[in-house]
Structure 1
Amino acid sequence: MGPGVPTVVTFDREDCTVPDSAIDPRDPQRSAPHTLLRDVRLGSGGPTVDVRSAGGRVVEVMAPGAPEDGARVLRCAGGTLLPGLVDAHVHAVQWAGARRKVSLAAADSAQAAVDLLAAELERRPVPAGELVQGYDFRDGLWPDLLHKDLLERALPGRAVTLFSSDLHTCWLSPAALDLIGRDHPTGVFVEGECMAVTAALPAEPVALRDRWVMEAMEAAAARGVTGVTDFEFADTVEDWTRRLRTAPPTVRVACSIARPLLDAAIGRGLRTGQPVPEGHGVLTVGPLKLFVDGSLNTRTALCHEPYPGADAGSGRLELEPEELVALMERAWAHGVEPAVHAIGDRAATVALDAFAEVGCPGRVEHAQLVRAEDLHRFAALGVVVGVQPAHAPDDRDVAERYWPDRLERAYRYADLLAAGARLEIGSDAPVAPLDPWDGIASAVARTDDERPPWHAEQAIPVGAALAAASEGRTGIAVGDRADLMVTALDPAEVAPQDLRELPVVATLLAGRPTHVADALR
């Protein structure tokens, strides 16, 4: 045994020999199996050890060769044991659906998007009468405009709905408008109207949609994910409670509260951080989601200076400061923490001013543009910054067009860390894939293609990125929750651009394996 790795037992091990047949997979923490991880490196650069978990916790860190004592054994062949990853910002239903939609990411114009969609439907026809759906278009750099007539000419009579990569724009055909009883000159909706239209569109049967969501979480577990915060615009507490009645969990879920449901949540006694009844030990109440502004791609992110162009404006204020403060005060009076969407730098200022006035903890989501004078305020106010580093390389071209005079303020993760802010990495799936390694790689490498790093001065070390993707966990010790992953290689020894594809060979939720690679079976 190397120095600093004592043999320690501090937890009762009477449950360590519970047979698999007695395990309730829907309550992994209380009935977690006794698991022994053999031959793992204890963290990045750490010594080789065996690690035992029971009752949902790490109970022993031992020299290699520990007795099995009836444990489920995973032989990890020198893989690196790390805290499980937590995606701090997902839209579970939209991500599950996006995995089955036509991607329009390659389109460089509205016409090209329509052509790409039509070609894909030739290869994978959608039955007549069913909704045709696409996503991931980025029209901020396109030379032509979105219009319902483009869709009608290419797919006459078909109901078509297309969503932008940032989820702030939807584009509907005339037949899709008819489905929701709307008449609109262009069929293009942004911000609040986009969300209302999205909610009004026909949805798949609940059972089918739930199955898609659980399949998406299984895929996330295969990438080392043990937890997510679900910001779906729905009753996420009810939705996730229902899902766990029919399928075992593969991740923990913090269930956010949508603004229209705040009063109902208060009436139900929901408080941020508390366990959800019937949540089987894996569901908790998340924050209240509020919007200050829009997005960069739609030029509705609220900025201190106007966008380039004669009449471009400075973005859109979605909530007046007085209303924002009132909502935050009402939520916090009932134990609900706010998560405030703020992409532009003026939006970040408005959000921070509100936190200062209310005096509550919470989150600012995105913070893609932040003034120097606001950097220190996140730490001073105890406000977490939910960031999506995968957006930086995705947005570099549109940012250079619309924020050319303020790029030193954009996606400034190194500056935020230096100012003491706590970063938590999310994907904003389906805006980016639900795979924290994509965000980790982007935070460290500042590029996702052959181009050189974009504003490399804002890159952060891999250790800092891993911590930000693990709710601040930086190591593994006896007594820790056994939400763990084993990577085939030590992330510290992998080139930044290769982190995105780092193999995960095992993932454990409360000590119960949710993913085991074939090499370990």
Structure 2
Amino acid sequence: MLPQATDPAAPDLLLTSVRQPGEAALLDIRVAGGVISHVVPAGEVPRDAPVVDLGGRFAIPGLWDEHVHMTQWALAANRVDLSKAESARDAVEAVRARLSGTSPNRTLVGVGFRDAVWADVPSLEMLDAATHHQPTALLSHDLHCVWLNSAAASTYGVEVDASGLLREDAAFAVTRELGRLPNEVVDPWVRDAGRSAAARGIVGIVDFEMTWNRDVWLRRLAGGFGSLRVDAGVYPHDLQRAAAAGMRTGQELNGGAGLLRVGPLKVLIDGSLNTRTAYCVDPYPYGGHGMLTVSEAELLQLLVRARETGFVPAVHAIGDGANKVALDAFAAAGVLGRIEHAQFVRREDLARFGELGLTASVQPAHALDDRDAAESNWSGRTDRAFPLRSLLDAGATLALGSDAPVAPLDPWLAMSAATTRSRPDGRGPWHPEQALTREEALAASSRGRSRIRAGDPADIAVLDGDPLAVPDAVFAEMPVAATLVAGQFTHRDPGV
């Protein structure tokens, strides 16, 4: 088993024969006390610490996924995958195939359906006919919608109409109930997910699981989780509790083994594109503007309260109407913060991200997953959908993530989507004018650090190729030879 990332007894370390991206010169990286103390030409540092020869590989600052629902991501790996379903009928057949062997007292859970691009529509009757008395709950890929059969509706005490669908808060409530599995079941799944993330060069996540995250992560770290740093988000219903405990964004939590900090205050103010609940200025083709789930006055009060209590607000805003509301509230509150997703932004609002000093926490893989839904619902306006280049050029700070389980917890998939605006599926790039360079994508995935520097935490990803030079297909699946957090290996290939 790999050592804990913050073991105070761990020796210092010297990484030799390593290169920075885009450079041929070999370097040595000296790590002392969990911090990079020297980055110098090879041979200039005394070999007074254990040496790891990296054989000319490339080192980059360790990667962060800035938007994760970690428990949901771990659960998704153990549920029915509906991401390939091209219709409601396809989804039902995938569920039918998994019914055999499922305990009749246990809810069968599917994940990842995208009904926004289906020609047919989900219905209670359709799902009931396939599942009968087996409680069944299917979660949409964006987690903003749940498709239930009658047995599951009865099990969870909710009412559904003829569609069988619940959206937004009602869906979130059922999703939370579906996640109430024993800790001894879920925590090992989360440990596995953490190890898998470390194997992709990830050193930290911002976890926006809808729960009182502090105690969950203290338990997991005490139980042996040690693969990643975690910034644990807080939701408005827990803000008073957090403030009373003296918590504030960026604070390191006692008992967290140096890996756990208080994250941002997450505020959801609209829905999603897939469910057509993202709040938009113009109506959807079938009517309605989506949902503004927090009023402008309420949002302003929350941002002021966040400022007073030392929390950085992270406002979920997908539609262009919601982004305008969020920007107005940030301006009025006079507080810095983040807008999560920023998927659809009015041209006149792009510059405000930079003017207000805001971070756009974006998920580039969504641009490719949702391109058809965007073209259908935002027809003629998708030049300002997922506008990564426009946001960066306007002065916004970009922070890349996955929103796992909405997209896989894999920073290379996100960076590939950001830089190519395409996937190797034969379709051409979608709005390539909004692409980032690889160096920009790497910086946006490592909290602004595009190069290994002395004085930074020794959070490092070691790659088998130069991320600025490998072909696009290799970049999307970049081989990661090793990952270090605070100077200790959290992932290490046998050849390292």
Report the TM-score, using the length of structure 2 for normalisation: 0.96
- Please give the secondary structure, in 2, of the residue aligned with 1:427: coil
Map Cα deviations across residues 135-179 of structure 1 (whole Å, 9 max, x no partner): 010000212222232222112211111100111001112221222
Deviations 1:7-32 (A, max 9, x none): xxxxxxxxxxxxx9xx972634x444
Matched, 1:378 2:353: yes
The counterpart of 2:6, out of the listed 27, 44, 54, is 27
Aligned to 1:50: 28
The structure 1 residue matched to 2:123, chosen from 147, 170, 182, is 147
Determine if the alignment matches structure 1 residue 466 to structure 2 residue 442. yes
1:364 Cα offset (Å): 0.1
Structure 2 counterpart of 1:362: 337
Q: Tell me how far apart the structure 2 counterparts of residues 134 and 74 of structure 1 sit (CA, whole Å).
A: 44
CA distance in 1, matches of 2:437, 2:5: 36
Deviation digits for residues 445-468 of structure 1 (CA, Å, limit 9, x no counterpart):
101122111011111100000000
Note if contact 1:484-1:509 (Cα within 8 Å) is conserved in structure 2: yes
State the secondary structure of the residue aligned to 1:331: helix
How many angstroms apart in 1 are the aligned matches of 2:129 and 2:184? 34
Q: What is the CA distance between 1:202 and its match in structure 2?
A: 6.2
Number of residue-to-residue matches in the alignment: 493
Contact 2:99 2:131 in 1 (8 A): no
Aligned mates of 1:518, 1:154 — CA distance in 2 = 47
- What is aligned with 2:205? 228
Return the match for 2:308 from 333, 350, 368: 333
Counterpart of 1:512 in structure 2 is 488
Q: Which residue of 2 aligns with 1:242?
A: 219
Structural mapping, 1:467-506, within 5 Å? 467-506=443-482
Indicate conservation of the 8 Å contact 1:32/1:54, yes or no.
no
Letter in 2 for 1:137: F
Q: Does the 8 Å CA contact 2:5/2:488 hold for their aligned counterparts?
A: no
Q: Structure 1 residue 198: deviation in Å?
A: 1.5
Q: How far apart, in 2, do the equivalents of 1:438 and 1:153 lie?
A: 37
Return the alpha-carbon distance in structure 2 between the equivalents of residues 142 and 260 of structure 1: 35
CA distance in 2, matches of 1:304, 1:148: 32
Q: Distance in 1 between matches of 2:336 and 2:116?
A: 34
Where 1:519 maps in the other structure, the secondary structure is: coil
Distance 2:6 2:104 in 1: 42
The aligned counterpart of 1:173 is 149
Distance 1:74 1:172 in 2: 53
1:115 aligns with 2:90: no
Amino acid at match of 1:241: L
Task: Say if 1:161 and 1:172, in contact at 8 Å, map to a contact too.
Answer: yes
Cα deviation, 1:392-439, whole Å, max 9, x if unaligned, reads 011111111111121111111111111111000010000000011110
What is the identity, as a one-letter code, of the residue corresponding to 2:249? T
Q: Is the 8 A contact 2:14 2:49 kept in 1?
A: no
Q: Which runs of 4+ in 1 moved over 6 A?
A: none
Contact 1:135 1:164 in 2 (8 A): yes
Query: Is residue 164 of structure 1 aligned with residue 140 of structure 2?
Result: yes
Provide the rounded CA distance (Å) in 2 between the counterparts of 1:446 and 1:222: 24
1:276-295, aligned counterparts within 5 Å?
276-295=253-272
| Residues 37-46 or 447-456, more deviating | 37-46
1:486 deviates by 0.6
Equivalence for 1:9: none
Of 175, 182, 185, which residue of structure 1 is paired with 2:158? 182
Distance in 1 (alpha carbons) for counterparts of 2:274 and 2:267: 19
After superposition, the C-alpha distances for 1:444-500 in whole angstroms (9 at most, x for unaligned) are 010112211101111110000000011111111211110000110001112234311
CA distance in 2, matches of 1:326, 1:273: 22
How far 1:70 moved relative to its partner? 4.2
Counterpart residue number, 1:8: none
Is the 1:26–1:247 contact (alpha carbons within 8 Å) kept by the matching residues of 2?
A: no
Aligned residue number for residue 283 of structure 2: 306
Once the 2 structures are TM-superposed, how far is the Cα of residue 200 of structure 1 from its aligned partner? Answer: 2.9
Partners in 2 of 1:31 and 1:210 — Cα distance? Answer: 26
CA contact (8 A) 1:52 1:61 kept: yes
Distance 1:188 1:404 in 2: 25
Structure 1 contact 26–248 (Cα < 8 Å) conserved: no
Distance 1:98 1:33, change over 3 A: farther
Match of 2:418 in 1: 443
The one-letter code matched in structure 2 to 1:111 is: R
Output aligned runs, 1:65-104, within 5 Å.
65=43, 68-71=47-50, 73-104=51-82
Q: Tell me if 1:274 matches 2:258.
A: no
Counterpart residue type for residue 114 of structure 1: V
Query: Which secondary structure state, in structure 2, belongs to the residue aligned with residue 401 of structure 1?
Result: helix
Match of 1:209 in 2: 186
> What does the per-residue CA deviation read over 1:334-366, in whole Å, with 9 as the maximum and x for residues that have no partner?
111110000011111100000000001110000
Distance 2:10 2:322 in 1: 44
Residue by residue, what CA displacement relative to the aligned partner does 1:53-105 show, whole Å, maximum 9, x if unpaired?
Answer: 1211112223335554341x332221110000000000000000001111111
Amino acid at match of 2:145: T
Of 382, 392, 415, the residue aligned with 2:367 is: 392
Stretches of structure 1 that go unaligned for 5 or more consecutive residues are 1-19
Conserved 8 A contact 1:45-1:492 = no
Letter in 1 for 2:6: D
Question: Please, which of 309, 317, 320 is the counterpart of residue 345 of structure 1?
Answer: 320
Judge which range, 200-209 or 406-415, deviates more. Answer: 200-209
Alpha-carbon distance between aligned partners in 2 of 1:46 and 1:440, rounded to the nearest angstrom = 23
Q: Distance in 2 between matches of 1:55 and 1:215?
A: 27
Provide the rounded CA distance (Å) in 1 between the counterparts of 2:159 and 2:291.
Answer: 24
2:379 is the counterpart of 1:404: yes
| Distance in 2, Cα, partners of 1:480 & 1:86 | 15
- Name 1:14's counterpart in structure 2: none
CA contact (8 A) 1:179 1:201 kept: no
Structure 2 gap ranges (5+): none
Residue 46 to residue 90, structure 1, CA distance change in 2 (3 Å):
farther
Matching residue's letter, 1:239: V
Q: Is the 8 A contact 1:108 1:142 kept in 2?
A: yes
C-alpha RMSD over aligned residues: 1.7
C-alpha distance in 2, partners of 1:518/1:174?
Answer: 51
Distance 2:69 2:353 in 1: 24
Q: In structure 2, what is the Cα distance between the partners aligned to 1:26 and 1:463?
A: 27
Pair 1:260 & 2:264 matched: no
Identify which range, 407-416 or 489-498, moves more after superposition: 489-498
Structure 1 residues 400 and 222: CA distance shift in structure 2, 3 A: same
Q: Distance in 2 between matches of 1:510 and 1:62?
A: 19
Q: 1:46 to 1:349 in 2, by over 3 A?
A: farther
